Amino acid sequence: MKGLELAEKYYETYGRQMLDQQFAQIRNQAAVGLVGYGSECLGFDDDISKDHDYGPSFCIWLPAEIFKEYGARMQAAYDALPKEFMGIAGRVEEEQGKGRVGVLCLEAFYEEMIGRYTLPQSDAEWLAIPEEMLATAVNGRVFEDPFLQFTHIREGLRQYYPHGVWIRKIADSMAKAAQAGQYNYARAMKRGERIAAELALTEFVKESMHLVYLLNRTYAPFYKWMHRGMQNLAVCSEIGDMLGLLYQIPDPAAAWEGVSPAEYVYNLNTNDGRVLIIEAVCNILVQALNEQGLSDLQDNFLQNHIQAVLSKLGKF
C-alpha cells in the first residue's frame, strides 16, 4: 500500500477519534495530512522504500501558541495509537527521519521547509528558497484543515513562482544546459577528458530536466526524483525517455578521433550518438519555448534564446 493511502486510512481509523475525543477544544485548529520529506509524500514509494521511515503515521500541524500548550499532550496521545495497522508494522524511523510525522508546530514546519512561515513577498525572497524545498513543502496530501492557516501558506506556494522569478530561472537553466551539453561536452570529448565530459553530460541532463519542470510551472523535486517525476508532466515529458538513451550509447570515444576543432565547434559531430540526442532534446525545448511565447527563434542552441526569454520579464 502506498504511504499516502496508508496514512489517510490510519488517520481515519484512529487519529480522527483521538482528536475528537481528547482535544475537542482545539480540534478546529489542527491541520492533518502527510507532507514533507520522503518518497511517500511524492507518491513514489515502492517496496524498496519500505526499509525505512515507512509505516502507519501522519502529521498534525498546530499553530505555535496552540502547539506550545497542547503539543506535548497531543504527541503522547499520538504515540499511544496502535502501532500496527492493516497488517503493516509500526513505523521504524532512521535517525534523520525523526520528527517528520506526529504533532508538529505549523510555523516551525514551514521555517524548516522554506526558511519562513509566511509567503515570500519579493523576487529575492522567492529566489532564496531552494526549489527542491518548495517541492517538498507542497507535496503529499492534506486530509483536513478547518482553520486553513496551514493550507493558506501551502496554496500560496502552489500558485508557483512570480513571473519575473520564473523567467530568470528559465534563462539560467538554459544557459547551464547549453554550456554543459552543447558546448563543453564536445570540447571535453575532443581533449579525451572523459570525466569532464561525463560531468558535462550529467549537468546537461539535470538542467534539461529542470527546464521541463519550469516549462510545466512545477517545482523540481530532490534530484533523485526529478526523472521519475517527469512522467507526470504534460509538457515535454518525452524528454525523460530521451535522456535515458544517453546512458545506453556505447563508448563514443572513437567518434572523436581525428575530429578538428572547426568540425566540432561549427558542425555537430554526428558520429557521437550522444550529440544527436542532446540536440534532439534541445529542439523539443526550443519548440516549447516557441509555443509558450518565450522565444520566436528557431535556433537549436539554447544559449541564443536567452535574451529573447529575458525580454519577457516585463510582459504577460
In a structure prediction context, what are the per-residue pLDDT tens digits for the chain, which is 316 residues long?
899 999 999 999 999 999 999 999 999 999 999 999 989 999 988 887 666 667 899 999 999 999 999 999 999 999 999 999 988 887 776 665 567 999 999 999 999 999 999 999 999 999 999 999 999 999 999 999 999 999 999 999 999 999 999 999 999 999 999 999 999 999 999 999 999 999 999 999 999 999 999 999 999 999 999 999 999 999 999 999 999 999 999 999 999 998 887 766 668 899 999 999 999 999 999 999 999 999 999 999 999 999 999 999 976 5
pLDDT score recorded for residue 265: 64
pLDDT score recorded for residue 98: 65
pLDDT score recorded for residue 156: 98
pLDDT score recorded for residue 45: 82
pLDDT score recorded for residue 96: 59
pLDDT score recorded for residue 94: 63
pLDDT score recorded for residue 311: 96
pLDDT score recorded for residue 97: 53
d(C-alpha 102, C-alpha 98), whole Å = 10
Q: How far apart are the first and last CA of the chain?
A: 44
